[in-house]
């Protein structure tokens, strides 16, 4: 590093010239070369992940992405969390009700009433709060293992599959914490329902 000198420094015009060229060069490097190069590498060596972790059914049809939740209206299926955008994944988001917003209480009360109507055997104080509240993305693909278990009596009654068998299905699709520590145990609703559908088809 040299001494700073006012006298022999470059002029303002030449600084502008360098800034202009730097702007163009860095748009090319950071905005074009870097994203295209990493995309190329990722597509070459990890195409499944790079293309959105798509899930196929037994016949090989793509039925969704393992990372993106779906709407399950049919009560025979396990249901996911509340989504103010009905799992329409061309966008994402929620209504962002603040904790003191009366709309939050109204919406949750409606979910509770719907729960009571569809699941007369399971009292609402056994239902985890996450199942009846809106996720952040509106696309949460997971529910907690308890949220799956409380749905078993309803699904058993509607499908005739025994609660034990459904319990095993939930256990088989329960993922633990990452590395045994990070995050929370969870069940992927799409994959669980895919297995349930296969069981129903038998």
Partner 1 sequence: MGILQLVLVLAVLVLLVKPLGTYVYHVFSNEPNRMDRVFGPVERGIYRLIGLKRRDGMTWKRYALSFLLTNIVLVALSYLILRLQSLLPLNPNKIGGMEQTLTFNTVISFITNTNLQHYSGETGLSYFSQMAVIIMMMFTSAATGFSVAIAFVRGLTSRGRTIGNFFEDFVKAHTRIFLPFATVITLILVALNVPLTLDPTLTVTTLEGAAQHIAIGPVAALESIKHLGTNGGGFFGVNSAHPFENPNPLTNVIEMLSMWALPASLPYVYGKFANNKKQGWVVFGAMMTLFLAFLTLTYTSELRGNPALNALGMDASQGSMEGKEVRFGIAQSALFTTVTTAATTGSVNNMHDTLTPLGGLAPLAEMMLNCVFGGKGVGLVNMLMYAILAVFLAGLMVGRTPEFLGRKIEPREMKLIAVAILAHPFIILVPTAIALMTDAGRAGVTNPGFHGISQALYEMTSSAANNGSGFEGLADNTPFWNISTGIVMLLGRYISMIAMLAVAGSLVRKSWVPETVGTFRTDNVLFWGILIGTVLIIGALTFLPAIVLGPVAEHLTLR
The answer to whether 144 contacts partner 1 (rule: CB under 8 A) is: yes
* CB 135 to partner 1: min, Å: 6
Q: Which residue has the tokens 């090989």?
A: 60
Choice from 58, 59, 75, 89 touching partner 1 (CB under 8 A)? 89
Site map (CB under 8 A) of partner 1, residues 16-35, x = contact = xxxxxxxxxxxx-xxxx-xx
* CB 152 to partner 1: min, Å: 16
| Beta-carbon count within 10 A of 135 CB | 20
Q: Which of 48, 68, 46, 66 is nearest to 57 (CA)?
A: 66
Choice from 59, 61, 117, 202 touching partner 1 (CB under 8 A)? 61
CA angle 104, 64, 164 (to 5 degrees): 75
| Beta-carbon count within 10 A of 196 CB | 20
The answer to whether 102 contacts partner 1 (rule: CB under 8 A) is: yes
Choice from 3, 58, 201, 202 touching partner 1 (CB under 8 A)? 3
Question: Residue 86 — φ and ψ, nearest 5°?
Answer: 50, 40
Among the listed ranges 13-21, 154-162, 165-173, the one in contact with partner 1 (CB under 8 A) is 13-21
Q: List the interface residues with partner 1, window 171-190 (CB under 8 A).
A: 177-179, 181-184, 186, 190
> In the numeric block, which tokens belong to residue 148?
């799956």
* CB 40 to partner 1: min, Å: 9
Choice from 83, 119, 140, 151 touching partner 1 (CB under 8 A)? 140
The answer to whether 112 contacts partner 1 (rule: CB under 8 A) is: yes
Choice from 60, 100, 117, 201 touching partner 1 (CB under 8 A)? 100
**Residues 6 or more apart whose Cβ sits within 8 Å of residue 139:** 68, 69, 83, 85, 87, 89, 92
* Cα 98 from Cα 73, distance rounded (Å): 27
SS3 177: coil
The answer to whether 39 contacts partner 1 (rule: CB under 8 A) is: yes
């Amino acid at each position: 590093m040299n001494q700073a000198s006012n006298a022999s420094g470059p002029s303002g015009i030449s600084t502008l010239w360098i800034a202009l060229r730097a702007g163009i060069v860095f748009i090319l490097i950071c905005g074009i070369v870097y994203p295209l190069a990493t995309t190329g590498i990722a597509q070459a060596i990890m195409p499944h992940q790079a293309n959105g972790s798509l899930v196929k059914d037994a016949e090989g049809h793509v039925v969704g992405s393992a990372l993106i939740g779906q709407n399950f209206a049919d009560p025979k299926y396990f249901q996911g969390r509340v989504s103010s955008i009905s799992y329409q994944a061309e966008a994402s988001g929620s209504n962002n009700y603040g904790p003191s917003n009366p709309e939050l209480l109204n919406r949750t009360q409606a979910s509770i009433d719907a729960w009571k109507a569809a699941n007369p055997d399971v009292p609402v104080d056994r239902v985890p709060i996450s199942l009846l509240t809106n996720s952040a993305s509106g696309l949460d693909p997971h529910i907690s293992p308890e949220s799956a278990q409380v749905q078993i009596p309803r699904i058993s009654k509607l499908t005739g599959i025994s609660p034990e068998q459904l319990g095993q299905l939930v256990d088989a699709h329960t993922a633990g914490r990452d590395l045994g520590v990070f995050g929370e145990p969870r069940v992927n609703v799409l994959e669980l329902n895919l297995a349930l559908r296969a069981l129903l088809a038998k």
